[in-house]
Amino acid sequence: MISKRCVRFMYLTSLIVGSVSIVTSYAEASDSPEVHNPVPLTAKSVASGRVLYLANCSACHGPDGTAQVTAMAVARDLTAPQFFKRGATDEAIFETVQNGLGNGMPPFKSELSDVDTWFIVDFIKSLWSDTAAAK
């Protein structure tokens, strides 16, 4: 027969484990980017994104996003969103810029604010033709 002390211990242990899992889930959720791009796609946001892109991204992806830079032949062509590894949603692009991708692309979360990253997302989207963006 199980003692009352053992039952209490198992009950308290399950409460602690449950609480830790809830706190862990909340912490992981709060580290993720916002649900949607808070920066409206406008000519001004694209222009701001272009300045930031040229300063932070063009060395690998090229000034026009086609990745035709000899130093980094493996950089993704940003004009072809259908081939993006993480997808072409605003959130996926934001996450890629902030957290990097594999060994080829470093994270920029320490160099760029969230708002600056959203501006870059808008600029990248401006590089797409209507046909490419629809795919």
pLDDT in tens, 44-88: 999 999 999 999 999 989 999 998 766 555 788 999 999 999 999
- Measure the CA–CA gap between 87 and 42, rounded to whole angstroms: 22
Of the two residues 108 and 76, the one the predictor is more confident about is 108
Written as six digits, the tokens of 41 are: 């796609």
pLDDT in tens, 7-44: 455 555 554 544 443 333 333 444 554 558 999 999 99
pLDDT of residue 5: 59
- Measure the CA–CA gap between 80 and 102, rounded to whole angstroms: 19
- Between the CA of residue 95 and those of 9, 11, 59, 86, 114, what are the distances in Å? 42, 39, 20, 9, 10
pTM of the model: 0.70
User: 81 with 133: CB under 8 angstroms?
Assistant: yes
